[in-house]
Structure 1
Amino acid sequence: MELSQLPLLLLFLVLISNFQSGHTQDYPKPTLTVRPQSPVFTGDSVTLRCELDQSWDGWEFLWSKDSNTDSPEAETKTISRVKVSDGGEYRCRARRGGNYTDYSKPVAVTIHERPKPKVTIKPDHHVFRGETVTLRCDIYDGGVTSWRYNWYKDGSTSAFSERQEHTFSSVTESDSGKYSCYGTETEGSRSSHLSDEVTLTVSDFPKPTLTVRPQSPVFTGDSVTLRCELDKITGWEFLWSKDSNTESPEAETKTISRVKVSDGGEYRCRARRGGYNTYYSKPVAVTIHVPRADLSVSPQKWLTEGDPVTLICEINGSSTGWTFSWFTETFSSGSRNDYELLSDSSRGAGGKYTVSSADLNHTGVYVCSAERDKTAVYTPYSNTQPLWVTGVSPPVSLIISPSRTQHFTSVSLSLSCEDQSNSDGWTVRRYTDSGRLEDCSSFLRGSQTGSTCTIRSTSSSDTGVYWCQSESGENYHPVNITVHFGVILESPVHPVTEGNNLTLRCLYKYTTVSNLRADFYKDGSLIQNQTTEMIIPTVSKSHEGFYYCKHPDRGESPKSWISVRGSHSDSQISVLHILSSALAACPYLIVTVVLIYKCCRMRGKTPE
C-alpha cells in the first residue's frame, strides 16, 4: 500500500469505530422551554417544548422528571390543571434510529397552591350608622409580588373596587351585605381563588341593658355588681354615671364591694367606640338600706294566760339569709335599758319566735336583732314589742286610785300591789309609750312606799302599761293607763265578768259637772249618742273591744280596751261537776279498800 493512501484508511477506520459505538457528539442538543416561565398555581396549565434545529427531522422525543426513566412523548408536553406533585426538574433528549442526542439543560417547574384571599372588616362585622368601616383583602403566599384586587358584594359578578383596602367613611344600613374579594397578578396571568364571603351588618346605635345583682334589698357591707350589656359586640369602651354626674370610663362590669349608704343612687351606662356613643341605658336605682330589724306581734300583744302568740322579726321587709337573736328588755337604773338574750333564742332562728301557750312569765318587753349569713353584717336592736299576759286568777292585784284606766293630767295617782297573803316585796313598774322601762322610784314625781306607788302630778308622759313585779322577777296584772289633757273615758280597770253590768262615762276636768253628754263608740262605730253614761246591763264576750267617747265641743277621749272574762257560775259548775264525780266514785272506792284490807289480813295468818 502506498503511503499516500494511508490517511484515507485511518479516516475510514475512525468512522467505522464511531458508528459502532453510537457516538452523537455531532448531533444537536435540544433546548427545553416552559410556558409560563414563572411559578404556576394548581389548576393552571403548563406547556414544555423540547426544541431541535429545524433541519433535523425524524426524531423521537424522550422526557424525564427528577432523573426518572425516560418516557417517549411528543415534542410539546402540556400538563392541564397542574397539581403540586407535577412540579419538579424536567429534561428531554431526542432519538433517531439508534442514535441519541444529549439531554437538554434541566428546567425547574414550580407549582404553588392557588392562594385564597382573606377578608377582614374593621372595626367589627357589626357596626353602626355613621361609623368608618374598612374592608381589607389579604392574599398570602403564592410568590406573586403584585396583585390587582377585585371586590364583590352579595354575589355580584361586577367588581365595585380594585384596591386592597376599601373604606366606607360613613356607613349606612344600605352598606350591609356579604363581601368577597379576588386577586389577579398585575404583570402576569395568575389569579387567586375567590375568598369566603364576610357579612357586614350596619344598624342604628344600640341601647345597652343595665342589670344589677342582687336585685333584692342590698345592705351595707354587701357587694353589688352592675353590668352594662350589649349584644356580643366587641371594641366598646363603657361609660358610667351615677345620679346624672360626670361619666367615668370603666369596664363592662362594675362591682362595688362592701357598699356604703352613699353608694346608693340611680346608675346608667352607655358605650363608646371610635368617637361614637350609644344611647344611655334605662337607669337602675340601687338602694342601700342600713339593715333594720322590725319586730311585730301576732295576733296581739294583750293576752290571757294560755293564749298563743308569735313574735315576727323582719329585716327591711325580708327575712331570708339572716340568723336571728331574741332578747327581753331588763330594768336599768341608768339612762339606757339593757337586753338579756333569751335562753331558747334559737327557737326563733327563722324570724319567728312562737309561744304556743303564754303564761305570766312571758309578760315583758322584747327586741330582736339579726346577722347576715357569711357577710358579718349586723342589725342594731329592733323596735321594742311588749307582751302583756293577764292571769286567770293572779296572786296579786294592781289597785288604781282613782279606779279607772284613763286619768287627767296634773292630778295625783296611786297604784298599789295587793297580795292576798302578803303585800310586801312588790314593786310597781311601767313601760311608757316612749319605750322606757322603769320602776316607781324612777318615775318623774313618783315615789314608792311599801307596795304603793304614788305619782304626785300626772302628765301625758306617764301613759303606759303598769304592773306588779315580785322580788324574784315575776310579773303580774298589767294594766294600760292613759293620761290625757281633755276628755277621758271612765271605764273599769279589771276585766268585766260575763253577766255583770258595764257602765261607761265621759269625763271632763274643767267643768262643774264632770259627766259630759257625749256619743259613745265601740271599735270605731257609734253605739249610743248624747248621754251622760252608757250602761250595758248584761255583758257577754261579744262586748269586748275598744271604747271611747266624743263630745262635740270638748273633743274625744283616748281608746280603752274592755276585756270580758267568763262568769263565776261557769267555774262553780265546773267545781261542782268534779265534786259530784268524786262522790259518785266513793262507794266503789270504799268497797275496794275493804276488800284489799281483808285480803292482806288473810295472807298475814300463818298455820299453827
Structure 2
Amino acid sequence: MELSLLPLVLLLISSVHSAHTEEKPKPKVSIKPAQHVFRGEKVTLRCDIYDEGVTSWRYSWYKEDSDSVFSDQQEHTFMSVTESDAGKYSCDGFKGSRWSQKSDAVTLTVSDPRAVLSVSPQNWLTEGDPVTLICEVHSFSTGWTFSWFTLTVSPDQYDQLSDSSRGAGGNYTVSSVALNHTGVYVCRAEREKSVYKTPFSNTQLLWVTGVSPPVSLIVSPSRTQHFTSVSLSLSCEDQSNSTGWRVRRYTDAGRLEDCSLRGGSTCTFSSTVPSHTGVYWCESEFGEKHHPVNITVHSGVILESPVHPVTEGDHLILRCLYQHTTPANLRADFYKDGSLIQNQTTEMNITTVSKSHEGFYYCKHPTRGESPKSWISVRGGSNEHCLFLSESQISVLNILSSVLAACPYLLVTVMLVFEYCRMRGKT
C-alpha cells in the first residue's frame, strides 16, 4: 500500500513546486524623468517588486542580455548620462530562498543633438542690408530656447549678445546691418524644461562692407585669390593718419586671430600656403571693423577679381590665371552663381557694372580644373543726383530761368553746379 501512495506523493510535490514557481512576483522597471533623455541629464532607474508579506528585497540590475550585475540597489542613478549609458535595463530580486522573476527590459535612449547655424540671404553684406541667423536642432524641432554669441579673439571665448532674446524662436534678425555687425557668430539651444544645453553650433562669419570707411585694407598683389608659394602682403591704410589699426583674420580652421604676430597694421607672408585662406579685415583698438576681404590661397587655377566692392557704372575685367604657364591667362569658361555666362575666353568684360552683376564668380578650364569662387560686391554710384539733373535738364532750366531771373548771381551759381555735374557724369 505504501508503494501505491508514492506516485501520489510525487505528483503532490511537483504540483506544489509548480505553483511556487508560478507565484514568483515579476518586478517592474521605471525610468525618471523619461525613457528618452539628453546627454548630461540626471536619470534614475527603479525596480519595484510587489509581493504580499515580503519586504526588503535585495536587488540585481542587468544591462542588455548580460548576466553581470552592475548595481544591487532598488534605485540606480546616473548623475550625468552619456550615450554609453543608453540600452536595455532589467532587474530581479531575492530574499532568503525567495526569488522574483526577471523584469521585462526597458530601453533608455540618450541623445546629444547639435545646434546648426545658417545665414539668410548670404554672408557678404553691405551696410543697410537685412540678414537673419537661423539656429536649428535637427530631429528635435520643438521645446527649445536659443542664445546667440559672438566669438572673441584667441583663446576662444564667446560673448552673449545683449539682445539675444530676439532669437527665442530660432531666428536672429538684423533689419539693417552696420559695420560693427562684422564678426563670427554661434548659437546654442537649451531645453525649456531641462538642464540640457547643446554644444556651441558651427560658426558663421558675417562680412559687412561700408560705403566710405576711414581705413582701407590694401592687398598686394591686388586680388582676392592667390597662388601657393608666392609672397602676399596685407596692410591697413588710414586716411586720417590715426594709429591703432591692425589686420585681423578668421581662418578656414575656425580661428579668430591677429594676422601679424605683433598685432601690427601690416601682415606679410613670404610664401603662401592653403592655410592662409580666410577672411581678413582692419580692426581698431576700439573694435571697429572695416573692409573685410575673403582671401583664398589655391594651387592651380585662380580667378583674378577685385579686392573691394565695385561701383555701379564701373568697368570690370575678370581673368582666369594658371600658375605654371606663361602668359598666365587661360582660355576658360566663366560662371556666375553656378551658371555659365561666357565660354572659352581669356578674360570676361563687364563694361558697365550694375547691381545685378553682384554674385559668386569662378572660371573653369577643361583640363586644368576650376578656380575657387569669389564674391563680387556692387555698391551704388556716387553721381546719382547729377545723373538726375542731366536727364531732366530741359525742365530744370526752364523752371530756374523763370524763378531766378531776378537774381543773376544765384542763377550763375546754379548753372555752374549743373555744368559740373554734367561734366562729372561724362567722366
Whether TM exceeds 0.5 here: the answer is: yes
> What does residue range 350-365 of structure 1 map to in structure 2 within 5 Å?
350-365=169-184
Look up the equivalent residue of 2:81 and give its one-letter code. K
TM-superposed CA distance for 1:396, in Å, is 3.1
Structure 2-normalised TM-score?
A: 0.69
Letter in 2 for 1:493: V
Report the equivalent of 2:310: 496
Q: Which amino acid aligns with 1:484?
A: H
User: In the TM superposition, what are the counterparts of 1:497-536 in structure 2 within 5 Å?
Assistant: 497-536=311-350
One-letter code of the match for 2:63?
K
d(CA) in 1 for partners of 2:244 and 2:80? 53
Aligned partner of 1:403 among 200, 218, 222: 222
SS of the equivalent of 1:457 reads coil
Q: Is the 8 A contact 1:293 1:382 kept in 2?
A: yes
Q: Closer, same or farther in 2 for the Cα pair 1:279/1:388, shift >3 Å?
A: same
Does residue 554 of the first structure (1) align with residue 368 of the second (2)?
Answer: yes
Instruction: Tell me the SS of whatever aligns to 1:461.
Output: helix
In the alignment, the residues of structure 1 paired with residue 79 and residue 138 of structure 2 have an alpha-carbon distance, to the nearest angstrom, of 18
Q: In the alignment, does 2:37 pair up with 1:214?
A: no
Correspondence 1:431-446 to 2 at 5 A: 431-442=250-261
Alignment-mate amino acid for residue 340 of structure 2: L
Out of 282, 287, 295, the residue aligned to residue 110 of structure 2 is: 287
In structure 2, the partner of 1:147 is none
Residue number among 88, 100, 104 corresponding to 1:267 in the alignment: 88
Q: Where does residue 67 of structure 2 map in the other structure? A: 246
Tell me how far apart the structure 1 counterparts of residues 343 and 93 of structure 2 sit (CA, whole Å). Answer: 75
Cα RMSD after superposing both structures: 4.7
- Return the alpha-carbon distance in structure 2 between the equivalents of residues 507 and 356 of structure 1: 39
Distance 1:429 1:517 in 2: 36
DSSP 3-state at the match of 1:528:
strand
Q: How does 1:305-454 map to 2 (within 5 A)?
A: 305-314=127-136, 318=140, 324-332=146-154, 336-369=155-188, 381-422=200-241, 424-442=243-261, 448=264, 451-454=265-268
Question: For the structure 1 residues 320 and 540, does the alpha-carbon distance in structure 2 shift closer, same or farther, using more than 3 Å as the test?
Answer: same
CA distance in 2, matches of 1:390, 1:537: 23
Residues 242, 265 of structure 1: 8 Å contact kept: no
Contact kept? 1:260, 1:288, Cα under 8 Å: no
How much has 1:514 moved relative to structure 2?
Answer: 0.9
3-state SS of 1:547 partner: strand
CA deviation after TM superposition for structure 1 residue 365, in Å: 1.8
Deviation at 1:464, TM superposition (A): 0.8
Which of 461, 486, 511 in structure 1 is aligned with 2:275? 461
Unmatched runs of 5 consecutive residues or more in structure 2:
1-13, 407-427
Instruction: Report which of the two structures shows the higher radius of gyration computed on alpha carbons.
Output: 1
Question: What is the aligned partner in structure 2 of residue 563 from structure 1?
Answer: 377
Which structure 2 residues correspond to residues 572-583 of structure 1 after superposition, within 5 A? 572-573=386-387
Per the alignment, do residues 240 and 545 of structure 1 end up closer, same or farther by CA in structure 2, a change over 3 Å counting?
Answer: farther
3-state DSSP class of the match of 2:260? helix
Partner amino acid for 1:544? E
* 2:349 aligned with 1:544: no
Q: Which moved more, 1:407-416 or 1:548-557?
A: 548-557
Decide whether the 8 Å contact of 2:364 with 2:371 is kept in 1. yes
% identical equivalent positions: 61
Q: Give the Cα–Cα distance (whole angstroms) in 2 for the partners of residues 214 and 308 of structure 1.
A: 42
For normalisation by structure 1, the TM-score amounts to 0.51
Q: What is the CA-CA distance between 1:411 and the residue it aligns to?
A: 1.5
Higher helix share: 2
CA distance in 2, matches of 1:503, 1:514: 15
Q: How many residues align?
A: 378
